[in-house]
Every structure is written in C-alpha cells, then in structure tokens.
Amino acid sequence: MKKRIIGSNFHSKDENWRKVLSNPWDYVNKAELALKEGVVRKKVKNAVDQGEALGLAWSGGKDSLVLYEVLKGIRLADYHFVTFKNKSLYFRETRLWYAAHQPKEVVELEMPMTIEQIRKGMFPRNARAVKKWLEPKWKVLRERQKERPLDWTLMGRRIDDGNKVESEWFKAKNGMKTWNPLRDWTNEEVAAYIVWKRIILPPDYSFKDGFKYGVCAWPLTDEKTVKERAPDIWEILKK
C-alpha cells in the first residue's frame, strides 16, 4: 500500500474515491494487489476442490462486483441476488444497468417487504433505521443457504467499508455462515482493482454521494437524492 486518502466508509468522500479511480497506481502497489487477488482465488478454489458448496451473494455494488471478478473461472455452487420484485423501486439508470450487466447465472431472490413496510422505513436516517431494511435481506440469505444447501455464502463485506466483519469466516448464532474474503481490502485497493479489471460500475456511483449510498433502492437514499435523480418520483411523493 502506497498512500491512503479515502479512509473508512464513515469518513470517506466521493471526491477521494474519484481521485483513486483516476490514478489508482499513485495509491496502490499493483504487485501487492495482484498477490492479494491470488490469495483469495487460491483459498476459494481449494475449498471448491475439496467439495465445499459455496454461494456468492451478488448485488451489483462495487464490492460484490470486485469479488465476482476475483473469482472468475472458479465455478461456485450458487449465485444469488436479493432484490425487490417491483423494479420501480430502483432508479431508472440502475434498472437499465442491471438489465445490461447482471450475470446470467445470478438467481434473483425476492426481498420480503410489503409496500407499507417500505413506506414506513423510507429514507432511513440512522443505523437502527437501516437495520430494518437489512433484516429481511439476511432472512432470505439464510433461507437460501439452508435450501441449497451451502457450506458458506461468499460476500464482499469489508471492514474499511464500514461493515462489522468479525472474521473472514463467520458463523452467526442464527446459523448463517458467511465467508468474507475481501475483509481486509482497503477502499483504495477496491478502487484500484475496479480500474485494473475495467469493471463497469452502476451509474449510482457517478452521482453525488454515490459512494455513500452505493447501489440500492431509492427509498434507502434520501429526499435530496430522489429529487435530483428522479423528479417524477419526487412529485408523486409530495402529494
């Protein structure tokens, strides 16, 4: 690692992400990053070769895109995406990106939230409010893991992105088993990898606060973002 300017998710700024994306090798050592990629690939391939059933939780967010790219060529047992059946809950540009870039092997799993739950939880302002959106998603992931069944669900969750990732391999009390191979990757390394592998990010990241919200349903952003990106939706919400 050469130099850090993005910092952790809670303190990172879009402008610093864009600086690294513009000149990644000013901040990251390419040889070191290649070694990190190789370590992840070797661990996962060894697990697959030993007969472990692994699933990849894909979302279209920057970290899931990086993990999917890192593991290209290693055939996993399952690829899934917890999403809303009602695609109008995503910005128009996001919907078009999904249509063009969602991998064919990724199976969509419906997010179990009612319209009333979405209305009540719209525009969450703190971690507690966001948790109400995450709990139904985790429930679907647990059910998928049991249904297949899977030994581990691979996720792109990282400490530097603000996630609580206690260990690379983690077994929750509710039975969910997650493998977080990018756990210790820095934001700078993720940005550099995106440029190196020419990963096409969803358009959400090109807007203001794009790296704050990432790719998600518009009710998970805020009033200002919806007003700027989807004035038609904003007009309906005002009524």
- Percentage, residues of the chain above pLDDT 70: 98
pTM for the model stands at 0.94
207-227: average pLDDT: 90
Grade residue 152 by pLDDT with cuts at 50, 70 and 90: very high
**Alpha-carbon separation of residue 60 from 24, 51, 231 (angstroms):** 21, 27, 24
Taking the C-alpha atoms of residue 38 and residue 81, their distance in angstroms, rounded to an integer, is 25
Do 212 and 186 contact (CB within 8 A), yes or no?
no
> Hey, where are the domains in the chain?
14-238
- Strand pairing report for 152-154 and 54-57: parallel
Sign of CA dihedral 122, 126, 132, 138: positive
pLDDT of residue 164: 84
Residue type, 33: L
What architecture is domain 14-238?
3-Layer(aba) Sandwich (3.40)
- pLDDT tens across 56-104, in order? 999 999 999 999 999 999 999 999 999 999 999 999 999 999 999 999 9
- Per-residue model confidence (pLDDT) at position 84: 94
Q: What is the pLDDT at residue 239?
A: 66
Contacts of 178 (CB under 8 A, 6+ apart): 152, 153, 154, 155, 157, 169, 170, 172
Contact present, 229 and 220 (Cβ < 8 Å): no
- pLDDT for res 61: 97
Encoding tokens for residue 210?
């794009």
Model confidence band, residue 185 (pLDDT cutoffs 50, 70, 90): very high
Cis geometry, peptide bond prior to residue 112 (ω within 30 degrees of 0): no
Give CA angle at 99 (176, 208), nearest 5°.
80
Closest CA to 59 of 156, 132, 129: 156
Confidence of residue 237 (pLDDT cuts 50, 70, 90): confident
Which range (44-48, 167-171, 234-238) has the least confidence? 234-238
Report d(CA 107, CA 117) in Å as an integer.
Answer: 24
The Cα 177–Cα 233 span in angstroms is 38
Of 57-66, 137-146, 178-187, 230-239, least confident by mean pLDDT is 230-239
pLDDT confidence of 40, banded at 50, 70, 90? very high
